[in-house]
Structure 1
Amino acid sequence: MDSFIAWVGGKKLLRKEIVNRFPEEGVKKYVEVFGGAGWVLFYKDKHAEKEVYNDVNSELVNLFRNVKYHPEAVAKELELTVSSREIFEKFKAADVGQMTEIQRAARYLYLIKLSYGATVRSFGCRARNTIDMDALLQVKRRLDGVLIENKSFAKLITAQDGVGTLFYCDPPYHNTEKYYDTGEDSFGEEMHILLRDTLRGIKGNFVLSYNDDEFIIEIYKDFVIEEVERSHNLKMAMGDLGSRYKELIIRNF
């Protein structure tokens, strides 16, 4: 199934390549460390008996939790809204501390749907349907049994590690970090190195997706690195139909 939202760096176009590199046997727990829109999670009905979705963005995690437990209530909050710059700016400026969790979830879903490039930053100037009840109910069913966490990657990996655990990591790409709504002040090179060091010490396995970048290739040179290509959706939208984008899939097995 598809995700119910778009997201910066989403893996809709690469998810098959990623999942094809997952171990065929021995995976007891699947952990999506940088969850985002969950395109890889949603690609299969189940990756393992135990599954974990995590993201450091608390508003995104709150959205996932409320779609899991209260999809009808989230949809109810949005049933009278229309595609509007005025509403978008009002939601963007809202004090989430004064909202219920369901109101926060509905607000964030609206901002994702109506923002340019799903960045939650600027109005996208296109009319979109913010409520797809069938999609929300599918997500609810898919998330049944999935543990939803809101931790830093280092704390999550340490807590969930073990023999039989498969971590899928899709961190902010190197030199494009500013485009991600990480919920943190920054994701600089020291964070990329911390992720490498954290993954180096695990008992389980990891699959990691990154942009084709010299810095990333250097810090992960001790692991298996494969170059893959996908369509460059931004350039294709501008008419360059043959444009391709290179990415890396890195793993420790």
Structure 2
Amino acid sequence: MQKVSPAAPVAPWLGGKKVLHKTIIDRIDRIKHDTYVEPFVGMGGVFLRRTWKPACEVANDLNGEITNLFRILQRHYPQFLEVMRFQVASRREFERLRASDPLTLTDLERAARFLYLQRLAFGGQVRGVFGVSPGTAPRFSLAKLEPILDAAHERLDGVVFENLSWEDVVSRWDSAGTLFYLDPPYWGGESDYGKNMFERAEYERMADALSSIKGAFILSINDVPEIRECFAAFHLEPVKLKYSVSKGGATEAKELIISNREVKTSLI
């Protein structure tokens, strides 16, 4: 293991683990591994914030926009900054880029488009609205963004990127020294990341696949009876959280950290 500086996610992401990441990383650090794999990396809410780096790291997401952005940050960072340098927070530009077909763009332009939309969309959902409101600075400002991108560029050094289904990633990268961290869509929100990206039947398939791997896994998901039943063969650790929903309040949530390794977090 190599000690490294953590980095922040470069943009908001639905289910980005802003509240839960410290708990998950603590569990990750307690399991010995030489290969670390995230089949649902998203914006790297856990991946980038870890402070220990094993010999091999794999970041995967079925969303090709994510893997393209990370690959560009890793390999073409100076050129990426040049593409972003003269961009401004604009409703018209937001709508123009959202309506454009990413397949008609270069990889650099495509990565810049995706990051711009993710940072300015309300709640980090590109299908949503232009997320700028009175009394709040826009999340797109290159002066503020550049240090975040620089830290992510450094942290992504040597990372392997995949753009496969979670099943293919698990089967290809499984070994006795592998640790998988899985953050699938929550039960009831299977379509939150796009149509046909994840089906409810996949929870059962995931439990079956994880029951036969050589390595270790940690999985985080909402605590509902259906998930408890599906993953009943593994260690289930309930966690209570509070999520801010507005300036005036918060909502409580129950989540599960599931693993095929019993992780002791206290002497009791």
- Please say if 1:229 is aligned against 2:235: no
**Amino acid across the alignment from 2:147:** D
Cα deviations across residues 12-44 of structure 1 (Å, max 9, x unaligned)?
211111122226353110101100011211222
Q: How does 1:4-153 map to 2 (within 5 A)?
A: 4-22=10-28, 24=30, 26-126=32-132, 127-131=138-142, 132-153=145-166
Match of 1:203 in 2: 214
Partner of 1:176: 189
> What is the distance in 1 between the residues matched to 2:239 and 2:156?
29
- Pairing partner for 2:253 from 245, 250, 253: 245
Change (3 A) 1:26 1:103: same
* Preserved CA contact (<8 Å) 1:11 1:40: yes
Mark the CA change 1:134 to 1:238 in structure 2 (over 3 Å): closer, same or farther: closer
Contact residue 231 and residue 244 of structure 1 kept, 8 A: yes
For structure 1, the residue ranges without an aligned partner over 5 or more in a row are: none
1:156 lines up with 2:169 in the alignment:
yes
Which is worse superposed, 28-37 or 46-55?
46-55
Amino acid at match of 2:51: D
Question: SS at 1:137's partner residue?
Answer: helix
Q: Is the 8 A contact 1:15 1:39 kept in 2?
A: yes
> 1 CA distance for matches of 2:224 and 2:79?
43
Q: Deviations over 1:76-120 (max 9, x none)?
A: 222222212211111111122221100000000001011011011
**Comparing both structures, which one devotes a greater share of its residues to helix?**
1
Q: Which segments of structure 1 move beyond 6 Å, counting only runs of 4 or more?
A: none
Residue-by-residue CA offset, 1:156-202 (whole Å, 9 max, x unaligned): 00000000100000000010123224xx6242221111211211110
Q: Which runs of 5 or more residues in structure 2 are unaligned?
A: 1-6, 133-137, 262-268
Q: Give the CA RMSD over aligned residues.
A: 1.5
1:113-170 deviation per Cα after TM superposition (whole angstroms, max 9, x unaligned): 1101101112334123243222111111100011111110000000000001000000
Q: 1:192 is matched with which residue?
A: 203
Partner secondary structure for residue 51 of structure 1: strand
Amino acid at match of 1:216: I
In structure 2, distance between residues paired with 1:69 and 1:101: 12
Identity of aligned residues (%): 37
State how far apart, in whole Å, the 1-side matches of 2:212 and 2:101 are: 40
How far apart, in 2, do the equivalents of 1:220 and 1:153 lie? Answer: 17
| Matched position secondary structure for 1:189 | coil
Q: Measure the CA separation in 2 of the matches of 1:178 and 1:25.
A: 32
Displacement after TM superposition at 1:238 (Å):
4.8
- Matches of 2:105 and 2:53 in 1, distance apart? 34
The alpha-carbon distance between structure 1 residues 114 and 48, as it changes in their structure 2 partners (threshold 3 A), is: same
Change (3 A) 1:173 1:25: closer
Q: Classify 1:252/1:106 alpha carbon distance in 2 versus 1 (closer, same or farther; 3 Å).
A: same
Q: Distance in 2 between matches of 1:7 and 1:120?
A: 10
TM-score, normalised via structure 1 length: 0.93
TM-score by length of 2: 0.88
